[in-house]
Amino acid sequence: MNRFAILFSGRGSNLEAILDHWDDPSHVEETAASIPVLALSNRPDAGGISKARARGLETRVVDHRAFENRAAFEDALCDELARAEVTWIVCAGFMRVLTPHFVRRFEGRILNTHPALLPLFPGTDGPAQALAAGVKVSGCSVHFVDEGVDTGPIIAQSVVPVLRSDTPDSLGARIRGVEHTLYPRAIARVLAGGYRREGDHVHLEGHALDGP
Ligand code: GRF
């Protein structure tokens, strides 16, 4: 059984979608292979904290501002992860870059969702970057985390239209709409072992993730 932690920094709508997915008995075939055991925020004011607690998930805050440097912050994260016997990490709006040291420790076992069609528009403000570039579609990308920023192997993507009237907020909200379906499904599939990795390419087994 894979035990995963959800790392987040803010609103926590993806965290909520993930927990709802695991709570829904109709998904048990894929979710049975893994269990969310810990919600971990680096911000004490993150909206996701109350969402995780409301669902009965153990929730901890490791405030990065309390540490002298990234290494000390990540050591504290690792202490929490070890205590909860976490085997996989799921980033959901976690706004701290993880150092190579941390990434190597969980090599191939960290997932993230990014609000753009990678490899386009990595980093912050995916929706704003898409609007500035004038692209007509954008979306979200679920990927493995490697030592770069949003550069790891892509697992799954969903596409949304970019409208002329869009602002970064409206596009970001539309992207989150598809993310809330795709990300939980992708996490469940990967943690159930339903994928093959060939170098930088990931092949999912079974039915498509972004269908009805
Ligand atoms: C999501 O759009 C995700 O792609 C990005 O941060 C956002 C987090 O939103 N990494 P939320 O906190 O899950 O609502």
pLDDT tens-digit readout, 109-146: 999 999 999 999 999 999 999 999 999 999 999 999 99
Centre of ligand 1 to C-alpha 172, Å, is: 9
Q: What confidence tens digit (pLDDT) does each residue in 161-202 have?
A: 999 999 999 999 999 999 999 999 999 999 999 999 999 999
Q: How much of the chain exceeds pLDDT 70, in percent?
A: 99
Any residues with CB less than 8 A from the CB of 187 and at least 6 apart, and which? 4, 18, 34, 90, 111, 142
Those residues whose C-beta lies under 8 Å from the C-beta of residue 195, and which sit 6 or more positions away, are: 155, 189, 202, 203, 204, 205
Mean pLDDT calculated for residue range 146-170:
97
Cα–Cα distance measured from residue 123 to residue 94, given in angstroms and rounded to the nearest whole number:
12
Say which residue, 212 or 80, is predicted with more confidence: 80
pLDDT band (50, 70, 90) for residue 208 = confident
Q: Which atom of ligand 1 is nearest to the CA of 46?
A: 12
Catalytic residue among 21, 27, 64, 114: 114
The token pair at 134 is: 């004038």
Amino acid at 115: P
| 59 class by beta-carbon count within 10 Å (0-12 exposed, 13-18 middle, 19+ buried) | buried
pLDDT reported for residue 209: 86
| Digit-coded pLDDT (tens) for 29-77 | 999 999 999 999 999 999 999 999 999 999 999 999 999 999 999 999 9
Here the tokens at position 21 are 């997915």
Q: Which residues line ligand 1 (CB under 6 A)?
A: 8, 10-14, 92-93, 113-115, 140, 175-176, 179
- Name the nearest CA neighbour of 54 among 32, 34, 44, 39: 39
Q: What is the pLDDT of residue 7?
A: 98
Q: Using most ligand atoms within 8 A of CB, pick from 14, 43, 154, 179 the residue to mutate for ligand 1.
A: 14
How far is the centre of ligand 1, averaged over its atoms, from the C-alpha of 168 (Å)? 13
β-bridge mates for residue 141, sequence order: 114, 157
Q: Is the pLDDT of residue 18 over 80?
A: yes
pLDDT at 210 over 80: no
